[in-house]
Amino acid sequence: MDIGVPKELRDMEFRVAVTPAIVQAMVEHGHHVYVEHDAGKGSGFTDSEYERAGARIVFSTEEAYLRADLLVKVARPTPQEFEWMREDQTVMAFFHLPSARVNKILELLRREVTAIGLELIRRDDGCAPTLRPMSELAGGMLPQIAARFLQNDQGGKGIFLGGVAGVPPAQVAIIGAGTVGCCAAKAFERAGATVHILDADIRKLRNAIEKVNGRIITMLAHPANIRKAVSFADVVVAAAREPGRRAPIVVTKEMVHSMRRRSLIIDVAIDEGGNVETSHPTMHRNPVFTEGGIMHYCVPNITSVVARTATHAISNAILPFLLEIADEGVDAALEKDRTLARGVYTRDGHIVNKDLAIQRGKELQL
């Protein structure tokens, strides 16, 4: 099979979908891999490394698309990239279609693209093997992000996460005890902050206690508790997700305005539309904005600035699925593997993901 690996076109997106080692594994299975020139530069991989692994270097994103039966990338394609997709092509990426513009979904349907969302692939037990590494990495990065934007020189309130003798540490409220939330809780606790974690599922709260060895405060995530936690927090991490659906709004504008001035919101769910009513996407080049005196960090691709680590993590996670599709063909792979099949958004000109069809059906006139 012909496999394309384009360079990511979005601003400040340094990741690439596969490492040279993963390319070598695909080539050893008899497949042709076309990697765009400098696609791995942001992650520290050179064209010569890809060539030694057996890849063929192409010199435009368009060529990477046009040569590929299976195209694999990281971020949701740009409008230009949608125009380069071939009919009946299979594209794997973090699509996040529940929060995408409707014209992008329509383009996938018109071109009869098999769009596989890496964020949507789920095992029977609910585990997300291709999303989990990014969630773990993003959660672990949050204390360093919070520490930076709590500084006075960044417009923050001048608080050190861990406190010092006689001065209490920062108060951190995390909404959502999934992978991001639990990893963030553990990282903030290690940084010395006082951590409160909220979730509507008591089982997830018990799991969070076990993962952080009990050194956190848990609260059930109903509106009164969320309002209370937000009001005293120096940092609010919004990380509530519903697989395959737009992220729910759990922090209202009223709650934001109840926060102490120059506090910080990190809306990790912004790639799925966001958990905070006042949020809108930002970029690493200009990552924060202020609304109602509260700083908002709403970068969808948080892990792109640790691209070397992120690329290794993504590559390791997607390799089994890449080989499955390439070795057996997309039809056989989807029929055989329910885990992979759950990741399909569109196929043969139809939306096959029920949640997306229900959520966006009216806009698409389905």
Residue 284 annotated among the catalytic residues of the structure: no
Catalytic residue among 31, 196, 271, 296: 271
Q: Secondary structure of 29-98 in the HEC alphabet?
A: CCCEEEEECCCCHHHCCCHHHHHHCCCEEECCHHHHHHHCCEEECCCCCCHHHHHHCCCCCEEEECCCHH
Catalytic residue among 96, 199, 234, 296: 96
Separation between Cα atoms, residue 305 and residue 288, nearest integer Å: 15
The H-or-E segment that residue 332 falls in is helix 330-336
Q: Please check whether residue 324 is in contact with residue 337, taking contact to mean a CB–CB distance below 8 angstroms.
A: yes
Q: Can you read off the two tokens belonging to residue 54?
A: 């057996």
One-character DSSP codes across 231-280? HH-SEEEE----TTSPPP--B-HHHHHTSPTT-EEEEGGGGGT-SBTT--
Question: 3-state DSSP call for residue 296?
Answer: strand
Burial letters 69-85, b for 16+ CB under 10 A, else e: bbbbbbbbbeeebbebb
Residue 257 annotated among the catalytic residues of the structure: no
Q: Please check whether residue 243 is in contact with residue 122, taking contact to mean a CB–CB distance below 8 angstroms.
A: yes
Separation between Cα atoms, residue 154 and residue 267, nearest integer Å: 18
Give the active site residues.
96, 271
